[in-house]
Chain A
Amino acid sequence: MAVYTDVAADELAEFLKHYDIGELLSYKGIAEGVENSNFLLHTTAGYFILTLYEKRVAKGDLPFFLGLMTHLASHGINCPQPVKSKSGEALSTLAGRPAAIINFLEGIWPRKPSAAHCAGVGQALAKMHLAGRDFGMTRANALSVSGWRPLFDAAASRADELQHGLRAFIAAELDHLENNVWPRNLPQGVIHADLFPDNVFFLGEQLSGIIDFTFACTDILAYDVAICLNAWCFESDYSFNVTKARAFLNAYGRERKLSDAEQDAG
């Protein structure tokens, strides 16, 4: 079964000999995610996640992602930790692609987030922002305002295939954001940048882990807050749920108070 990249069983078994995680019993592709190919590995030592980084991910960024997970985990954040090979490397090569193995986190992502889930992610996000303060690496956000125009240019001609007027709607918003309205002087640090519900695991209403750091970067912390408001606090009919937003923002604020400037940017 392929996600983007197929991996043969014998090739994978040979690859795992470089790790101290037992012998391969089974594996399967994971449908989640749009950037990489992910596989759930079952070995005699337990369960692990194998990620093959596809072409949209720059190989030079991988030490940032893997180092960040290691850093956050060592600061009490529930996130996957890279498994190092017997030679001490977190990053290897498989099927011609950069590859990494991380430990498996129990939990499932919430298909219908409740206010309790929103509070959980608010608290975890603030703790992640605080834990990232002394992370020694930086990575520019390729998907902030300056990165949106090239993406739009690549897709604009087909936008109206989805909805008449969508192209003009996006173009007008981009014009607006590029006209110096984007906040640039807010507190910065490590952000996840993709904290949608499918990247947060829960056991019941208890958050068990944050996954997928392949968009993580250095940018204004409020960017993560804004992403979460969009990703967690709307209903399926697209109405905004202020109860969920209040739960999220207050839980965040109990760990890290939003500055006046950050609140004004809302």
Chain B
Amino acid sequence: MLVDFLNVPEGALVRPKDPLEYARKLRFQQGVTGMRDYGVAASGLVA
């Protein structure tokens, strides 16, 4: 994302994703210790 964000060709109709948004999300993920942090107990996953 950082590479895309820094290298948008001139005139291109693209909207690269914001790297800082994903840095924020990564900070959340760094604190995850298990499925419970995603709102799901392992037993809650139904086959």
Contact = CB atoms under 8 A, between A and B. Distances in A.
A238 B13 contact: no
B45 A31 contact: no
B3 A155 contact: yes
| Category for how many chain A residues contact B | 35 or more
A159 interface: yes
B3 A250 contact: no
Contact of A166 (B20, B25, B38, B40): B20
A250 B46 contact: yes
A4 B7 CA distance: 13
A166 B22 CA distance: 11
B6 A31 contact: no
A173 B19 CA distance: 14
Contacts of B24: 238
B38 A245 contact: yes
Interface stretch (A76-84, A128-136, A258-266): A258-266
Interface string A29-65: 1110110000000000000000000000000000000
Interface in B1-47: 2-6, 9, 11-17, 19-26, 28-30, 32, 34-35, 37-40, 42, 44-47
A215 interface: no
Nearest to A246: B39
A86 to B, nearest CB: 31
A162 interface: yes
Contacts of B32: 266
Contacts of B25: 230, 234, 238
Nearest to A165: B23
Contacts of A263: 34-35, 42, 45
Contact of A34 (B4, B22, B29, B35): B4
Contacts of A166: 2, 19-20, 23
B6 A155 contact: yes
B46 A230 contact: no
Contacts of A240: 28, 38
Contacts of B35: 249, 263, 266
Nearest to A31: B13
Contacts of B15: 31
Contacts of B46: 250, 253-254, 257
Nearest to B5: A162
B29 A230 contact: yes
B39 to A, nearest CB: 3
- Which residue among A34, A196, A240, A253 has the maximum number of chain B CB atoms within 10 Å of its CB? A34
B2 to A, nearest CB: 5
Nearest to A244: B39
A266 B38 CA distance: 9
Interface of B: 2-6, 9, 11-17, 19-26, 28-30, 32, 34-35, 37-40, 42, 44-47
